[in-house]
A and B are shown apart, each in its own frame.
Chain A
């Protein structure tokens, strides 16, 4: 309780709880950044890409990372590799 702690300063569990809540609630209060739309976004992207090339149902991956200052939305689209393209009938 008194004096100097020799352990390296690490955020207490209570501090971590508070910070996690502050970030989460800032987003939830804003409303618009709800992650409810992500499955719809994933479906739309899949649809648009499929207009131009053949990709499978599960090749679009959408992830959201919420930060305090900045949030990022990452969209990964996996395209078929050369091995799969080979051997197709030439058109």
Chain B
């Protein structure tokens, strides 16, 4: 049984693409055949974060419009055997996405892949709507900050009403889980940042993971590597845990998972 999972947030810049890349790479590392699809038509960036930007020939829109076969547009990751990227168009606009076209492509991907990760654009318009429409599950990426939490709440409302599962009304719903990103425990301790409990109390959905604010996220995006492949990165390890939970494993929630810092580093209070 394949699963379509949308990575969404409403607000921009909270880490949807970073999370889509990390989650899909994490799934592939665990042996699941995974494809990550960029829905941000006109502002494609998943290709850069995945490090395959120079290998894009055909894209999602070409496939929808019948100008290319799905196999021609899929880019195989060079690091992970089970990982594929379906880039989007940089030159077209969101109107090029049609509900029937998206359905046809996702149906074809379902034949071949265990997991289909849909990287949603920001906002709640066409691209975001179609990214979530056919989803079985949703990962709602949220920063512990008022505008992000508010937008996530709005997106949760849409997941409950404007999706295929919601409209079909046979009792099934899109299963939504929270991924709290750019989390800074020190700022929480100082009362500057909302805590995990605060955000959970407001949004009232299960917690998939907590990704600590980390300089390694920028480093990974600079070189086009999903951060989950960096096992020295606290964010990478947090994504690994989140992926484990996504596939149903029981993993204890840790803010800085399996920290491997030396005595001196701890003394200097360095956080990578």
Contacts and interface: CB of A to CB of B under 8 A. Distances in A.
Interface string B134-161: 0000000000011001100110010000
Q: Which secondary structure dominates where chain A touches chain B?
A: helix
A21 B146 contact: yes
B150 A14 contact: no
A15 B190 CA distance: 11
Interface stretch (A24-32, A52-60, A81-89): A24-32
Interface in B181-215: 188, 190-195, 198, 201-202
A18 B191 contact: no
A73 interface: no
Contact of B192 (A12, A18, A21): A12
A22 B193 CA distance: 15
A47 to B, nearest CB: 33
Contacts of A17: 145-146, 194, 198
B150 A24 contact: yes
Contacts of B150: 21, 24-25, 28
B205 to A, nearest CB: 13
Interface residues of A, number: 13
A22 B202 CA distance: 6
Interface of B: 145-146, 149-150, 153-154, 157, 188, 190-195, 198, 201-202
Interface of A: 12-15, 17-18, 20-22, 24-25, 28-29
Q: Which 8 A-B pairs have the closest CB atoms?
A: A12-B191, A18-B198, A14-B194, A17-B146, A25-B153, A14-B191, A21-B202, A17-B194
26 contacts: A12-B190, A13-B191, A14-B191, A14-B192, A14-B193, A14-B194, A14-B195, A15-B191, A17-B146, A17-B194, A17-B198, A18-B194, A18-B198, A18-B201, A18-B202, A20-B146, A21-B146, A21-B150, A25-B150, A25-B153, A25-B202, A28-B150, A28-B153, A28-B154, A29-B153, A29-B157
